[in-house]
Amino acid sequence: MIDGYLFKVTISLTTQSYLVSNLSSNLKLVESVCERVVSKFNELFGEADVITRSPGRINLLGEHVDYNDGFVMPAAINFSTYFCLSESRSSTSRIYSLKYNESIEIDSYNPQRLNKPVWANFLLGVLRQLVDRGYNTKPFHCVFDGDIPTGAGLSSSASVECGFVYSLNELNDWRIPKKDLMDIAQWSEHFYVGVKCGIMDQFASVMSIKDSVVVLDCRSMEYRYLPLSLTEHKLVLFDSKVKHSLVDSEYNVRREECEQGVEILKKINPTIKSLRDVTESMLADSKALVGNKIFDRCLYVVQEISRVQHATDDIAKNNLMAFGKKMFETHEGLSKLYQVSCPELDFLVDEAHANPSVLGSRMMGGGFGGCTINIIKKTAMQKFVNDLKVKYANRFGFEMVPYYVTIEEGAHTVVNKTKNFSILA
């Protein structure tokens, strides 16, 4: 047992071996991130009161449907952001980003959006929403960092927003309901970061449990956990290393295009509230009215919403073949109809499709770069990955990077000194 409080200014050898032997396998992988954050916090501010972990996410199926009232199948992963916080003895609050080696002093009573540094807005938006909802934090110090590759479609931004609001909730013992934590994080993304995202990423980051996917109905917000048994297969992501920026990209445009489609369809059938209420035949009947481009966007969404509903049966019955087939279909739709793919992602999926050891593959997340998600037979995995790396580099002149993901728990407390809580003790 680690005496008293867990982390001291330098993490001793004893502590390190304790960490290695006692943390979950996931935490073992990222312990260096946790240690880095703690050690920087110790150097700058002394002992932390609260340490939290907030993960990135994958999404098995249901892309670009969360903001269309559809169904999604995300899960938190073994890449995450760590936060260390303590109450500040002065009246000011300070946040330090280890990744950018930069800190900001903030007015926690009246947080405002900044032009620079950009990373601060993810957190300032959270603070703004908290203040607007009547939660005024005690002055605090915070250090954070993570190992989620940015721009890879793994929701590093939701991980930061959710982790920060989760951490302040712990530090102040506010007991804010989880749904509100997600909404606060999403507000920050909408209004301080500028991406009109759906709720999937925040939901996955906060609500996920180990080894299950979340099946979330983004209309009713009802959800259930579906255990994912991959048996002789593994989930592997291929990072195309094409960086997307959802702000600069056409993400918001896609959302608007869906809304335009709904507006037109509503005139014919006023009961339609979103693309969730639309069928393929209703859409086909209105093709001339909506026009080709909006038709394609809506068609993809309508098909994807229906696909996810069938896909949950595949997972429940452990029919990975059928599920994988749907992943390929989704990619086809995202690439041809929704047009959020790129040549690099298409190449990775085509190569996967041509290999019988890959059950399913598709681009994941917002698109325009980032990762593909793949279900691959374990025995054939290493050869496939090695060959693909070579082919990809030959074709595009830069490397693709594989990430081997496991499904982990959503945002959680690692240590809360004020409650004498530690998952490490």
Residue 96 or 122: which CB sits closer to ligand GLA? 122
Which of these, 297, 306, 254, 245, lies nearest to 279 by C-alpha position? 306
Q: Which stretch binds ligand GLA (CB under 6 A): 22-30, 88-96, 198-206, 295-303?
A: 198-206
Which of these, 125, 161, 166, 124, lies nearest to 146 by C-alpha position? 161
Q: Which helix (H) or strand (E) holds 57?
A: strand 50-59
CA 104 to chain CA centroid, Å, is 25
Q: Helix, strand or coil for residue 373? A: strand
333 binds ligand GLA (CB under 6 A): no
Residue from 145, 201, 257, 344 touching ligand GLA (CB under 6 A): that is 201
Smallest distance from ligand GLA to CB 198, Å: 3
Q: Which residues pair with 71 in a beta bridge?
A: 217
Give the active site residue among 201, 239, 296, 314. 201
Instruction: Compute how many residues bind ligand GLA; rule: CB under 6 A.
Output: 11
By residue count, the chain amounts to 425
366 binds ligand GLA (CB under 6 A): yes
Task: State the SS3 of 264-306.
Answer: HHHHHCCCCCCHHHCCHHHHHHCHHHHCHHHHHHHHHHHHHHH
Smallest distance from ligand GLA to CB 161, Å: 11
Residue from 49, 66, 147, 239 touching ligand GLA (CB under 6 A): that is 66
Smallest distance from ligand GLA to CB 333, Å: 12
**Residues 6 or more apart in contact with residue 87 via CB below 8 angstroms:** 49, 138, 139, 140, 141, 171
Residue 42 or 156: which CB sits closer to ligand GLA? 156
Compute φ and ψ for 6, nearest 5 degrees.
-65, -55
Q: Which stretch binds ligand GLA (CB under 6 A): 36-44, 195-203, 270-278, 402-410?
A: 195-203
- Tokens read off for 72: 């999604």
Residue 73 or 381: which CB sits closer to ligand GLA? 73
Give dist(CA 346, CA 354) in Å, integer: 12
Q: Which stretch binds ligand GLA (CB under 6 A): 62-70, 263-271, 353-361, 369-377?
A: 62-70
151 binds ligand GLA (CB under 6 A): no
Residue from 197, 207, 216, 301 touching ligand GLA (CB under 6 A): that is 197
69 binds ligand GLA (CB under 6 A): no
**Is there a catalytic annotation at residue 277?**
no
Asked if 365 and 153 touch (Cβ cutoff 8 Å), the reply is yes
Give dist(CA 143, CA 92) in Å, integer: 15
Which of these, 295, 227, 223, lies nearest to 262 by C-alpha position? 295
Give dist(CA 54, CA 162) in Å, integer: 7
215 binds ligand GLA (CB under 6 A): no
Q: Which stretch binds ligand GLA (CB under 6 A): 63-71, 144-152, 229-237, 416-424?
A: 63-71
Residue from 6, 30, 55, 63 touching ligand GLA (CB under 6 A): that is 63
DSSP string for residues in 190-218: IIII-----SHHHHHHHH--TTEEEEEET
Asked if 358 and 328 touch (Cβ cutoff 8 Å), the reply is no
Residue from 41, 67, 144, 384 touching ligand GLA (CB under 6 A): that is 67
200 binds ligand GLA (CB under 6 A): yes
Residue 146 or 365: which CB sits closer to ligand GLA? 365
Smallest distance from ligand GLA to CB 339, Å: 14
Catalytically active residues are 201
Residues of the shown chain interacting with ligand GLA in the complex, contacts defined by CB under 6 A: 63-64, 66-67, 155, 197-198, 200-201, 365-366
